[in-house]
Amino acid sequence: MNSGVNQSILITGESGAGKTENTKKVISYFATICSSGKRKEGEASLEDKIVQTNPVLEAWGNAKTVRNDNSSRFGKFIRIHFNASGKLSGADMVVYLLEKSRLTYQQPLERCYHAFYNMMSDAVPDLKQKCLLSDDILDYWYVSQGKLTVPSIDDKEDMQFADEAFDVLAFSEDEKYNVFKNTACMMHMGNMTKDFVPVGKEEQAEIKNEDNAIKVATLSGIDCEWMITYFCKPKLKVGTEWVQKGSTCQAAANSVAGIARAIYERTFRIVVEKCNETLIDKAMKKVHYIGVLDIAGFEIFDYNGFEQICINYVNEKLQQFFNQHMFTLEQEEYVREGLDWANVDFGMDLQPCIDMF
């Protein structure tokens, strides 16, 4: 920090190695030792806000995998900003590669994102009522295909932490419940995919029982009939004209699934954007920053989706970057300086694996 040059910490490793926990320790350390000491009356300090992003991001971005009960299913780059005197002046984060496929399919030993099970824990008294949820997670098949509970995770306690974190991060009551409603909306959309029935010779999709569709429309703030029409009879542009085309039940269900995944990802990004607004102290000048890169872990499953392959590719590239700078270039520097040094073989070069992508 004395050099005044921006620096970054790269945290890599396979799933379950402790990347996210290490990232939290690093952020807490900088937030504590570089605290500005400034605090507005009745408002949390900047360092408290930075630390309080963890419960929210973990609830909406972490899930149980085969190898890790609390695996980050997204990557994040956090920049901690400092002023000229080295005091904390804010933070911001960029997220990428959120694993959306997990939202509509989980393997038997996995679980969907923690937020769904946190919300069903009754930690926030009126949450289920406002989100039109029942008392049984099994009523929502999108999020009950794998494990429903994790021994090392207390969903009720985590929901309390996340709810308190929203308040610390200056989310209004409406903003907080909009996040909850969008999350619940995805659960209802899973049930809606089962409501399509084939009608007529062409077996075009229609919805006979609109209960789930009404819940989705209510939580989304849109007209139910309009929504059903666009799922069952989407408009296509043919030449210069728009025409309606009837969908099959499978095509309509796939459309609902795609929209559900998009809603969840956008909700997650809105949460991150709101956190960024809160973490920037506009009154303090930002001279340089220390970045912390925490990426989703390398995993190999029986079935590897496109997103997991992307995660594995990023891991391989970063590991190669680390090897190149920490071993290869460093040892070449020793040779140039004439030091008595025996080259160390740091392991197999995985360039062929990277080329395969």
Q: Is 20 in the active site?
A: yes
Q: Is 42 in the active site?
A: no
User: Hey, what are 208's tokens?
Assistant: 């006979």
312 contact partners, CB below 8 Å, separation of at least 6: 298, 299, 300, 304
Q: Is 299 in the active site?
A: yes
Q: Which of 54, 72, 89, 118 is catalytic?
A: 72
- Euclidean distance between CA atoms 356 and 352, whole angstroms: 6
Q: Is 75 in the active site?
A: no
182 contact partners, CB below 8 Å, separation of at least 6: 219, 220, 263, 264, 266, 267
Q: Which of 58, 297, 312, 316 is catalytic?
A: 297
Strands 241-244 and 235-238: antiparallel
Q: Which of 16, 86, 246, 305 is catalytic?
A: 16
Q: Which of 247, 299, 312, 315 is catalytic?
A: 299
Q: Is 240 in the active site?
A: no
Q: Which of 68, 104, 247, 312 is catalytic?
A: 68
Q: Which of 23, 71, 193, 312 is catalytic?
A: 71
- Euclidean distance between CA atoms 110 and 144, whole angstroms: 10
> Which of 17, 143, 119, 27 shows the shortest CA–CA distance to 71?
17
Q: Which of 12, 20, 65, 104 is catalytic?
A: 20
Q: Is 71 in the active site?
A: yes
Residue with tokens 């997991």: 308
Q: Is 144 in the active site?
A: no
Sign, Cα dihedral of 14, 20, 26, 27? positive
Positions marked catalytic: 15-16, 20, 68, 71-72, 297, 299
